């Protein structure tokens, strides 16, 4: 366990300075032009923050002293605060990050060969209450700001010294699959994904930045106007009846409507051959039967997809169990025989509770949902079975 130094974490309510950490290049240009500075200043500052990890303006030695003094008055570089860094024996690294208001969100780095994938949170908790998801049980507090979202990338890259000149490139991929539904925090997610992909910031390829949604169709319908990142759909069921139970937003936007929207998004991308990733959490005796696999194969036959089977990770407030290895392999075989690229996600970071679906953090729950779940759980624990009298 290692503490990571955080940038200035002053309470934003006490300052009106603009936090430059969350501004993509176009907005940073507008910021500099608003007080008569040339646009190339925005590029310089962007590089200092995201490619060199600068935490204050005095480090920016190619900027005049007078401009640095001006920036100190009107702007700041404020990342969220890392309160703990947990390193798993398998190389997975989890960051517990305190955001304004005191809630804790989680960010997980998963190394695999040359690839380093960062799973980034977009909200404090989540309002959608998917029945298999630890975050859903936490209730919802608020959207993360763009600075708090890109701040997770900044923190992870900095923890690996990636933001030093010639530092190693450890964070190669980003998935918006942490806590929260990204499309319910549209503007901030779009700004931060743009920063991930901008050449003067992190320069991550659009094929290596993925937004995962459970199906907020109106937002997905407009996503293509703002980004060309990859898309993943949290599907988890092959029919509406089952998905209504697992992913309640399905009652509003059923599978057919969601897949149509996803197809439009992928068809609108400038490059062809891109596939939608279908995420399917494998839950014992719930959605893991051969007939589910056959239904899924039929459902997706005219959608360009690859399928990722995710063994369910049990957690305290859930009665679900992980599907057996046999059931998962059988499911995979059916899909592969139907012609789908189908992978099984390896569970990583279990010793630090970093596995998929376990991101829970500590949320100032505005919905009181977490209290209700805990009460229900405690009640179940105290039920005693009284043996009938002989
Ligand atoms: S699976 Fe995603 S959308 Fe559903 S409750 Fe969890 S974080 Fe929210």
CATH of the domain at 222: 3.20.20.70
SS percent in the chain: helix, strand, coil, step 5 = 40, 20, 45
Ligand 1, pocket-test mutation among 234, 310, 315, most atoms within 8 A of CB: 234
Task: Mark whether 196 and 60 lie in a shared domain.
Answer: no
Of 125, 124, 128, 85, nearest to 108 (Cα)? 85
Q: What is the pTM of this model?
A: 0.90
Nearest-angstrom CA–CA distance, 114 and 123: 29
Number of C-beta neighbours around residue 212 at 10 A: 20
Paired strand residues for 231: 211
Which residues does the annotation place in the binding site? 126, 130, 133, 180-181, 212, 234-236, 313
Is 106 annotated as catalytic?
yes
Say what the pLDDT of residue 390 is.
38
Indicate whether residue 180 lines ligand 1 (CB < 6 A): yes
Distance 234 CA to ligand 1 centre (A): 9
- Which tokens belong to 2? 């290692």
Site of tokens 């960010």: 107
Structural domain contains residue 11: no
Is the CB of residue 129 below 6 angstroms from any atom belonging to ligand 1? yes
Helices within 35-123 (DSSP H only):
40-51, 65-74
The one-character DSSP state at 346 is: P
Q: E strands along the chain, which residues?
A: 18-19, 75-76, 81-87, 93-98, 104-112, 115-119, 123-125, 140-143, 173-176, 209-213, 230-234, 276-282, 305-311, 342-344
Ligand 1 within 6 A of CB of 130: yes
Q: Are residues 161 and 298 in the same domain?
A: yes
Q: Look at residues 142, 144, 148 and name the one whose alpha carbon lies nearest to residue 21.
A: 148
Residue 166: predicted pLDDT: 82
Position 346 scores a pLDDT of: 85
Task: Examine the domain organization and report whether 37 and 104 are in the same domain.
Answer: no
pLDDT digits (tens, 9 = 90+) for 12-39: 444 589 999 999 999 999 999 999 999 9
Task: List Cβ neighbours of 381 (8 Å cut-off, separation of 6 or more).
Answer: none
| Tens-binned pLDDT, residue by residue, of the chain (390 aa) | 333 334 444 444 445 899 999 999 999 999 999 999 999 999 999 999 999 999 999 999 999 999 999 999 999 999 999 999 999 999 999 999 999 999 999 999 999 999 999 999 999 999 999 999 988 888 899 999 999 999 999 999 999 999 888 888 899 999 999 999 999 999 999 999 999 999 999 999 999 999 999 999 999 999 999 999 999 999 999 999 999 999 999 999 999 999 999 999 999 998 878 999 999 999 999 999 999 999 999 999 999 999 999 999 998 888 999 999 999 999 999 999 999 999 999 877 777 776 665 566 676 766 777 777 667 656 655 544 444 443
287 touches ligand 1 (CB under 6 Å): no
- And the tokens for 334? 């059916």
**Is the same domain home to 244 and 142?**
yes
According to the model, what pLDDT value does residue 378 have? 64
Confidence (pLDDT) at 186: 98
CA–CA dist 133, 126 (Å, integer): 10
119 and 63 in one domain?
no
- Parent domain of 66: 18-76
The answer to the question of residue 4 being in a domain is no
Does residue 386 lie within any of the structural domains? no
Q: CB under 8 Å to 300, separation ≥6 — which residues?
A: 259, 278, 307, 340
Best residue among 120, 181, 278, 357 to mutate for probing ligand 1, ranked by most atoms within 8 Å of CB:
181
Q: How far does residue 386's CA lie from ligand 1's centre (Å)?
A: 38
User: So what's the pLDDT on residue 377?
Assistant: 59
Annotated binding site for [4Fe-4S] cluster: 126, 130, 133
Ligand 1 proximity of 128 Cβ (cutoff 6 Å): yes
- How far is it, in rounded angstroms, from Cα 268 to Cα 187? 20
Is 3 within the bounds of a domain? no
Mutate to test the pocket of ligand 1, among 127, 132, 133 (most ligand atoms within 8 A of CB): 133
Q: Is 53 in the pocket of ligand 1 (CB under 6 A)?
A: no
Cβ contact 174:165 at 8 Å: no
Report if residue 137 sits inside a domain. Answer: yes
Same domain, 101 and 169: yes
* Same domain membership, residue 319 and residue 200: yes
From the list 25, 55, 106, 198, the catalytic residue is 106
Active site residue 119: no
State how far the Cα of 116 lies from the Cα of 241, in Å rounded to an integer.
37
Number of compact structural domains in the chain = 2
| 306 within 8 A of 235, measured Cβ to Cβ | no
Q: Strands, DSSP E only, in 255-372?
A: 276-282, 305-311, 342-344
Which amino acid residue places its CA nearest to atom 3 of ligand 1?
A: 181
CATH label of the domain that carries residue 33: 1.10.150.530
Q: What is the length of the chain?
A: 390
Domain annotation covers residue 99: yes
Rounded Cα gap, residues 58 and 51, in angstroms: 16
Same domain? For 160 and 293 the reply is: yes
- Give the separation between CA 292 and CA 323, rounded to whole angstroms: 13
């Amino acid at each position: 366990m290692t503490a990571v130094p955080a940038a200035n974490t002053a309470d934003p309510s006490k300052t009106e300075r603009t936090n430059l950490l969350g501004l993509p290049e176009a907005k940073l240009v507008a910021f500099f032009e608003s007080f008569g500075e040339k646009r190339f200043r925005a590029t310089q500052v962007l590089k200092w923050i995201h490619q060199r990890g600068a935490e204050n303006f005095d480090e920016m030695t190619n900027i005049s002293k007078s401009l640095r003094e001006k920036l100190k008055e009107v702007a700041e570089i404020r990342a969220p605060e890392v309160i703990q860094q947990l390193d798993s024996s398998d190389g997975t690294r989890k960051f517990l990050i305190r955001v304004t208001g005191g809630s804790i969100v989680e960010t997980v780095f998963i190394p695999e060969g040359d690839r380093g994938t960062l799973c980034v949170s977009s909200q404090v908790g989540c309002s959608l209450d998917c029945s298999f998801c630890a975050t859903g049980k936490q209730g919802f507090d608020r959207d993360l700001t763009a600075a708090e979202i890109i701040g997770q990338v900044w923190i992870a890259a900095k923890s690996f010294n990636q933001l030093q000149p010639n530092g190693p490139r450890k964070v190669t991929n980003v998935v918006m699959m942490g806590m929260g539904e990204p499309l319910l925090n549209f503007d901030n997610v779009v700004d931060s994904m743009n920063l991930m992909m901008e050449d003067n910031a992190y320069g991550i390829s659009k094929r290596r930045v993925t937004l995962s949604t459970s199906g907020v169709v109106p937002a997905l319908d407009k996503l293509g106007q703002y980004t060309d990142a990859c898309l993943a759909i949290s599907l988890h069921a092959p029919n509406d009846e089952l998905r209504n139970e697992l992913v309640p937003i399905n009652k509003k936007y059923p599978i057919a409507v969601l897949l149509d929207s996803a197809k439009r998004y992928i068809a609108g991308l400038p490059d062809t051959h891109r596939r939608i990733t279908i995420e399917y959490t494998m839950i014992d005796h719930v959605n893991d039967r051969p007939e589910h696999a056959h239904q899924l194969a039929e459902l997706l036959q005219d959608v360009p997809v690859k399928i990722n089977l995710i063994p369910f990770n049990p957690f305290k407030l859930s009665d679900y169990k992980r599907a057996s290895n046999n059931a998962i392999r059988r499911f995979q075989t059916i899909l592969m025989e139907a012609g789908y690229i189908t992978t099984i996600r390896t569970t990583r970071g279990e010793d630090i509770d970093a596995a998929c679906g376990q991101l829970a953090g500590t949320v100032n729950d505005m919905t009181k949902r977490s209290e209700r779940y805990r009460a229900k759980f405690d009640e179940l624990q105290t039920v005693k079975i009284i043996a009938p009298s002989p």
